[in-house]
Amino acid sequence: MSEIQTETTQLETRNPKLESDLRELAQDMVRRAMAGGATAAEAVVREGDEFSTVVRLGQVETLKESGSRAIGVRVFFGKRAASTYSSDFSRAGLDRMLKSALELAKITSEDPFGGIPEVSQLGSLKGDLDLYHEDVYSLPGTQRIEYARRAEKAALDFDPRIKNSEGGSFDAATGRKVLANSHGFVGEYRRSYCSVAAIPIAQDEKGGMQRDYWFSVARNLGRLDPPEQVGRIAAERTIRRLGARKAKTSHVPVIFDPMVAASILEHIFEGVNGDSVYRGASFLAGKLGQKIAGENVTVIDDGTMPGGFGTSPFDGEGIPTRRKLVIENGVLKSYLLNTYTAKKLGLETTANASRGLAGTPGIGPGNYFLQPGTKTPKEIIGDVKEGLYVTEFLGHGANLVTGDYSRGASGLWISGGELTYPVEEITVAGNLKEMFFHISEIANDLEFRGAVASPTIRIDGLTVGGE
């Protein structure tokens, strides 16, 4: 048993003065940039705390606890822009950050589409979006360690073949973001997060090892799955991989579990990302209003869902988030855009700007998901005579320009409508332009474990590469 005492490491109580200071600081940076000659400016301040612990084979392996903050500014001189950031909040540090931004803007190009949003576009969703719960830090230190220990123990106790482990873990984090710009916008929000995970390792009689994992993640502690459940599922997923073999190279129906299906759905996200679209770097560029998938495919992006992992009251440029249909019954209805890419394409922003500390705003998902169907995953598997059920991808073999798709995979072989033996060291390949027309089944098991989520899906016409 661990004798660690972490109760005393509770983060110091927040200083209310400092809190208003960060908001004031962001506005002050904007004012000073304008006084320095900028024609528009934007400042972002981020502050966060993190806690993480790993318990391995019953013993605490790591314990990490800290907080940090940073500030970034983006300035415009007419149509030229530049950005700088700093973790140094001293007067000298902030002065230098501002001065560099103003100087750097001199060397960038005039871009007719550059600029911050119009005043009329700015704003923030009202009401409680259920994003922040202090209870992620409410557990005393020993209890946090217990969460990690319980998850790992449940996995180790599940089956004698679970002989080793990369540990159980518990993580908690809170973050605060303040955004201010020279149109008078100032907004802020906090988000919290906690997760419990287990990574067991199983070994068969021949010495072959397999590892898998499971986790639960939530914005508050109360919604986290019990650690025992997480550990048990992790163990089940690991045990079923023992004795995996290669499959024959073949063309069979492929069913993707929700985790890997979400990764396929991300390719649509990358494909409708305005940044790829205006550059012609996407297989979906120029396809607005056209059929890009089967009738059964409806994809939604919604930054407003209370408690969601992709929810925020405003996007990275200070525009209220919204819900939009990306694909409706197979027809591409909307790209996902920020202010810049919207102007480039002659469209309205979809409030998908994502803002790091530095650089130009990118594009990020809200809660982005494939609308579920009605069949259970079991029914969908039951319809397949010979096929592949994929539970894990290895590598990132998608070419968004050409749509070529080829990834390493492992999972279970389907025979006679049942999951049979495990398979590994195989590839799944096709082309994204065709794959979304060949989603022949969509299950009813949509569950958000992150900002992007998908139910189980079946895709036909793919090549399985193996022996």
Can residue 109 be called a binding residue for another protein (CB under 8 A)? Answer: yes
Q: Show contacts with another protein in window 238-277 (CB under 8 A).
A: 241, 244, 246, 249, 251
The only residue of 26, 30, 41, 81 in contact with another protein, by rule CB under 8 A: 81
What is the nearest approach in angstroms of another protein to the Cβ of residue 241? 8
The only residue of 83, 174, 334, 339 in contact with another protein, by rule CB under 8 A: 83
What is the nearest approach in angstroms of another protein to the Cβ of residue 353? 14
Residue in the block written with tokens 């409806």: 298
Angle, CA of 78, 79 and 81, to the nearest 5°? 100
> Whole-angstrom Cα distance, residue 72 to residue 357?
5
Q: Show contacts with another protein in window 405-424 (CB under 8 A).
A: 406-408, 410, 424
Q: Show contacts with another protein in window 131-160 (CB under 8 A).
A: 141
Whether the CB-CB separation of 388 and 458 falls below 8 Å is answered with no
For residue 459, the SS3 value is strand
The only residue of 33, 44, 105, 233 in contact with another protein, by rule CB under 8 A: 105
Q: Show contacts with another protein in window 344-373 (CB under 8 A).
A: 357-360
Closest to 219 (Cα-Cα) out of 309, 118, 154: 309
For another protein, the closer of residues 22 and 305 by Cβ is 22
State CA 30 to chain mean position distance: 30
Angle, CA of 441, 444 and 446, to the nearest 5°? 110
Q: Show contacts with another protein in window 16-45 (CB under 8 A).
A: none
For residue 211, the SS3 value is strand
The only residue of 20, 290, 376, 402 in contact with another protein, by rule CB under 8 A: 402
Q: Can you name the residues that pair with 122 across neighbouring β-strands?
A: none
For residue 8, the SS3 value is helix
Can residue 164 be called a binding residue for another protein (CB under 8 A)? Answer: yes
State CA 367 to chain mean position distance: 9
For another protein, the closer of residues 121 and 164 by Cβ is 164
What is the nearest approach in angstroms of another protein to the Cβ of residue 419? 19
Q: Show contacts with another protein in window 166-205 (CB under 8 A).
A: 166, 201
Whether the CB-CB separation of 82 and 108 falls below 8 Å is answered with yes
The only residue of 14, 20, 78, 110 in contact with another protein, by rule CB under 8 A: 110
